[in-house]
């Protein structure tokens, strides 16, 4: 029964995020006159589906870990067929619907539209929360400094107000832990306000293994301070549409930049790769977050949507970014890469994706105590 509490929210989240991604491809493909035969959420055998007036088969399949838009005459949205014999199979009317015959800029827009749609979904979610629920603006005032902690050694004191961490302005007490744990510096730069005077402190955090608020074991950085809002009341303010949009854009940019920074440090061996999770961990966290209400669930949906959009922009064949890379070469060379060259890159991409999936799944099973 507990597993169902994880599975149902996970399937709902993945369905929405994948649908938005694929609809980005679909929308611009339709706009540019590309024929679409299938719009699938999930892989494998079809559970149910229907045909629309244009002949597109909309369907839900058994394996809910992705989806695809299949174009007329192509294997799928990523087909790179270029042989004239393939083109010669179709009439002039049918050729107008072939993805591979569309101008380079149109193919690029169609492919890029999927990841971009994921970023747009996150922007809309964050903006809606800021408008209808409000954004937290509770001041980050230190309530206690633990003795002999990194903060104590650096000279932080009770009633100091934290106004900046690594040049990131602090608008809410809720941001402190996030900025500390996403910092890539050995010593984190704090700017505090004490007696109306700004003071700069460099603090080297220590790492501990602890439980997050969902009960999951995580490694995190701490500096040894306790923060609590006045009278335990958080200050939430509903934003207007413009300020909500600016705030949501900043949130998306922060998540994107810190994710890229973490990935870079992980590849260089200076970040903890055990924190990289796959579908199993995402399912668990999604289920746990869903128990806390619709707003946390929508927030995690926005974060997953950003991650999906970002990953799909990586220049790895079989991902959207890989095909955009091919289009870049086509623009430079004046013609597509040869079929043989593309096949070589696709095999490399497949190996990288399988390796990443294996590694993330291993981390998930390890996190669940199976290994």
Q: Say which residue the tokens 């040049």 belong to.
A: 167
CA 118 to chain centre: 8
CA dihedral 227, 229, 230, 235 (to 10 degrees): 160
Where are the extended beta strands (E) located within 98-241? 135-136, 142-145, 161-165, 168-169, 188-194, 197-203, 206-211, 217-222, 225-227, 236-237
Alpha carbons 126 and 266: distance in angstroms, whole number: 28
Alpha carbons 314 and 118: distance in angstroms, whole number: 14
Alpha carbons 179 and 169: distance in angstroms, whole number: 10
Nearest 5°: the CA angle 53, 56, 62 is 130
Report the phi/psi class of residue 240: left, alpha or beta, with left for phi > 0 and alpha for psi in -120 to 50: beta
Does the active-site annotation cover 82?
no
Element (H, E) at 351: helix 339-367
Rg of the chain in Å (alpha carbons): 24
Selecting among 22, 46, 175, 251, the annotated active-site residue is 22
Q: 135-136 and 236-237 as β-strands: parallel, antiparallel, unpaired?
A: antiparallel
Burial class of residue 252 in the structure, from the number of CB atoms within 10 Å of its CB (0-12 exposed, 13-18 middle, 19+ buried): buried
Helix 2-31 with 294-312: angle, nearest 10 deg: 50
Long-range CB pairs of 94-98 (<8 Å, 24+ gap) are 94/35, 96/33, 97/33, 97/34, 97/35, 97/72, 97/73, 98/34, 98/35, 98/71, 98/72, 98/73, 98/74
Task: For residue 222, give the 3-state DSSP assignment.
Answer: strand
Dihedral sign, CA of 169, 270, 284, 20? positive
Active site residues per annotation: 22
């Amino acid at each position: 029964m507990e597993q169902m509490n994880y599975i149902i929210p996970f399937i709902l989240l993945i369905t929405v995020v994948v649908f938005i991604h694929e609809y980005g491809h679909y929308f611009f493909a339709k706009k540019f006159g590309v024929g679409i035969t299938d719009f699938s959420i999930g892989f494998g055998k079809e559970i149910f589906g229907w045909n629309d007036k244009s002949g597109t088969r909309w369907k839900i399949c058994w394996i809910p870990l992705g989806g695809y838009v299949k174009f007329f005459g192509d294997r799928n949205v990523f087909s790179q067929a270029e042989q004239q014999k393939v083109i010669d199979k179709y009439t002039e009317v049918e050729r107008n619907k072939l993805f591979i015959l569309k101008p380079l800029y149109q193919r690029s827009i169609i492919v890029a539209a999927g990841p971009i749609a994921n970023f747009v979904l996150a922007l809309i979610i964050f903006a809606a929360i800021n408008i209808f629920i409000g954004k937290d603006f509770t001041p980050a005032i230190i309530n206690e400094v633990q003795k002999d902690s990194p903060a104590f050694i650096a000279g932080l004191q009770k009633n100091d107000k934290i106004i900046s961490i690594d040049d990131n302005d602090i608008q809410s007490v809720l941001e402190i832990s996030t900025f500390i744990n996403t910092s890539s510096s050995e010593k984190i730069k704090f700017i505090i306000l004490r007696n109306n005077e700004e003071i700069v402190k460099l603090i080297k955090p220590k790492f501990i293994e602890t439980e997050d608020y969902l009960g999951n074991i995580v490694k995190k950085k701490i500096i040894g301070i306790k923060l609590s809002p006045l009278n335990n009341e958080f200050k939430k303010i509903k934003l207007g549409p413009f300020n909500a949009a600016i705030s949501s854009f900043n949130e998306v940019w922060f998540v994107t930049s810190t994710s890229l920074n973490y990935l870079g440090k992980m590849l260089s061996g200076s970040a903890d790769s055990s924190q990289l999770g796959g579908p199993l961990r995402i399912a668990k966290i999604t289920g746990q977050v869903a128990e806390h209400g619709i707003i946390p669930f929508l927030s995690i949906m926005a974060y997953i949507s950003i991650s999906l959009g970002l990953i799909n922009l990586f220049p790895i064949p079989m991902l959207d970014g890989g095909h955009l890379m091919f289009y870049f070469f086509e623009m430079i060379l004046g013609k597509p890469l040869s079929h043989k060259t593309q096949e070589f890159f696709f095999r490399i991409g497949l190996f990288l994706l399988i390796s990443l999936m294996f590694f993330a799944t291993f981390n998930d099973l390890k996190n669940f105590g199976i290994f």
